[in-house]
Amino acid sequence: MSKRKPQDPSLFDSDNDAPPPPPTGGEDLVSLHEAAQTRYLNYALSVITSRALPDVRDGMKPVQRRILHTMWEQNLTADAKFRKCAKVVGDVMGNYHPHGDSALYETLVRMAQPFSLRYPTIDGSGNFGSLDGDSAAAMRYTECRLARISDEMLSELDQDTVPYRANYDGTREEPVVLPARIPNLLVNGATGIAVGMATNIPPHNLYEVCTALIKMIDADLDMSPAQLCRYIKGPDFPTGGQIINSADELKEIYRTGSGTVRLRATWQEGPETRSARTIYITSIPYALNKATLVERIADVVLARKLPYLLDVRDISTDDVRIVLELKKDADPKMVMAYLFKHTPLQSTFPVNMTCLIPTENPLVCKPERLDLHQMLWHFLDFRFQVVTRRLEYELKALQRRIHILEGFEKVFDALDEILQIIRKSDGKQDAAQKIMARFSLDAEQTDSILELKLYRLARLEILVIQKELADKRRRAEEIGKLLGSRVDRWAIIRTEIEAVRKTYGDERRTEITGEVDDEDFSADDFIIDEDNVVLVTRDGWVKRQKEVKDITSTRVREGDVVLAAMAGSTRATVVFFTNFGTAYTIRIADVPASTGYGEPIQSLFKFKDGEKVVAAESLDARVAGTVTS
């Protein structure tokens, strides 16, 4: 079928011939800029609040929270058998997170990587990637379950401690936030890019953070970021490393919620042989690909930019161990100073402590950059709400049970009469009406009596019921006192944080050394003083060799010839003269070493069109004054 071409308005000469106006059947016309602004704002808010930024209370993004919640629903606790990751991803995607399975799996994998999270929340079985940048195996091959520490994130879910909301299609409900008992946002950190804002929170040591929380409770939540820095020394990265920021710089980062952490690898000297020395790199900066790092160091070796460095090998297993082989007379501190400056062995971590904080509406959060005190305060305030709701839930359950037990206690001495009423009744409903009228019971108590198993009519069972009733009343009284005292509830929170610190606390992995005075060095310090020969050809190829026995036999391209051969120390300089009357200088050590054709001289200097070398000279004092052309 042919499509009808739109008519050209210029073909109509009068109003009668003009095309009809567009239909206006109940449609509201909106200007393009208003529609674009409104819809982009909605998109931006969705990305900020529902995708990219973590919640200050549980430290989770929505996708992470949904993964843990789904695994908890499936009873995939630390004591359960491993289950295929494909099953978990499918359930999360179908029930709560209707997005791509690959992105879901990547999130699950990261939550199980000990080099990505300081305290992984998922226990993985199989290939979950490596520090060398290897990707995890496909989800159909790997298995997972919750890590033990995740119990502290999820165990209070069934006690009405947090609000719930409907999932994407309204068929299920999901928690707005997890009732986390650990300060997960600081402990594991977070990284995310939203619209117009981002977050980059480094991980911290659980023992230090819990200690700071306890000190805050003791100080009635009134502590400055500088005071909290007495207990939280600084970030604690899962891959270790060494922080070289000063104490004042770290305090300023925690006061403002932003800044830069300078991180470098740790190293130690190894055994020494007759011909070489050894250095072991024992940890690397966070989020650094170890294989890429080794390649960068190898490039330095191959390019002979650091002649004292002979070789690099990666012999890492579970721990990082990179071997650097040096010349016998090398200074290890000077070699490491060079590598810190010219390789990723030293990097930076930009801190941006932006996260979502709760509002008056329990279903809505807003983004805000927090300092250290605010972040800990929000967590403690959340824990106070969780403990309060947990106690209220327990009290309601106790009151329901006490109510039932009081009914049992009231009728236990009249069991024979109740049995007669039941036998003379026309059914359960009729028996219930008669029992309620005779003993002044309500429907719930009466239904429990009618459902009572026969063995419970034994004489000793009344003692069990009376003991249970006394215990329940005593516990209900205790909870009533707790709910009436803020001090007592804070004591509960303090005790729980102490238990978490004792169970999961460990030693720091990242050293904090403060500012480090590196070895002062110049470029000449890394050049081994030895005699070399620089060769340049007529067509502009240049190379450096240790010795040249016969210039005529040196390797050049077909049709090319050697234009000049200049001897000199590697610390000396050579000059190249061009047909444009320009002189270019370079240190002999910086000329590429090669036994092949060499490198185009244009890669060393920026020549103009048609410019070429016509002569060269070595400025070594021993041979200076001889121009070769």
Each residue's pLDDT tens digit, 96-146? 999 999 999 999 999 999 999 999 999 999 999 999 999 999 999 999 999
pLDDT at 504: 96
- Burial pattern 527-548, b for ≥16 Cβ within 10 A else e, equals beeeebbbbbbebbbbbbbeee
Cα–Cα distances in angstroms (integers) from residue 64 to residues 112, 133, 186, 449, in the given order: 11, 22, 16, 46
Let me know: does 44 contact 193? Beta carbons within 8 Å.
no
In which band, very low, low, confident or very high, does the pLDDT at 435 lie, cut at 50, 70 and 90? confident
For the segment 48-64, the average pLDDT, to the nearest whole number, is 92
Let me know: does 361 contact 42? Beta carbons within 8 Å.
no
Let me know: does 190 contact 57? Beta carbons within 8 Å.
no
Confidence check: pLDDT of 7 > 50? no
Confidence check: pLDDT of 585 > 60? yes
Q: Give percent of the chain above pLDDT 90.
A: 64
Tokens of 387: 């403990």
Let me know: does 123 contact 88? Beta carbons within 8 Å.
no
CA–chain centroid gap for 208, Å, is 19
pLDDT at 28: 73
Cα–Cα distances in angstroms (integers) from residue 133 to residues 129, 289, 316, 421, 598, in the given order: 7, 6, 14, 76, 34
Residue type, 495: T
For the segment 315-319, the average pLDDT, to the nearest whole number, is 91
Q: Which of 48-57, 199-208, 391-400, 543-552 has the lowest mean pLDDT?
A: 543-552
Half-sphere exposure for 294 (CA within 13 Å, toward CB): 21
Chain position carrying tokens 């940890």: 283
pLDDT at 15: 47
Looking at beta carbons, which pairs linking 286-289 to residues 24 or more positions away fall under 8 Å?
286/202, 286/203, 286/237, 286/238, 286/239, 286/241, 286/349, 287/116, 287/239, 287/349, 288/239, 288/344, 288/347, 289/131, 289/132, 289/133
In which band, very low, low, confident or very high, does the pLDDT at 518 lie, cut at 50, 70 and 90? low
pLDDT at 27: 66
Q: Are strands 599-600 and 562-569 parallel, antiparallel or unpaired?
A: unpaired
Active site residue 141: yes
Tokens of 629: 């052309």
pLDDT at 628: 53
For the segment 480-497, the average pLDDT, to the nearest whole number, is 96
- Report the distance separating Cα 308 and Cα 329, nearest Å: 8
In which band, very low, low, confident or very high, does the pLDDT at 9 lie, cut at 50, 70 and 90? very low
Q: Which of 39-43, 67-71, 215-219, 282-286 has the lowest mean pLDDT?
A: 39-43
- Report the distance separating Cα 510 and Cα 526, nearest Å: 30
The active-site residue, picked from 40, 43, 105, 141, is 141
Check residue 552 and report its DSSP letter: G
- Report the distance separating Cα 170 and Cα 194, nearest Å: 26
- Report the distance separating Cα 171 and Cα 160, nearest Å: 19
pLDDT at 250: 96
- Report the distance separating Cα 622 and Cα 585, nearest Å: 18
- Of 448, 357, 381, 358, give the one whose Cα is nearest residue 410: 448
Judged by DSSP in three states, 465 sits in helix
Tokens of 115: 């080099």
pLDDT at 3: 44
Confidence check: pLDDT of 1 > 60? no
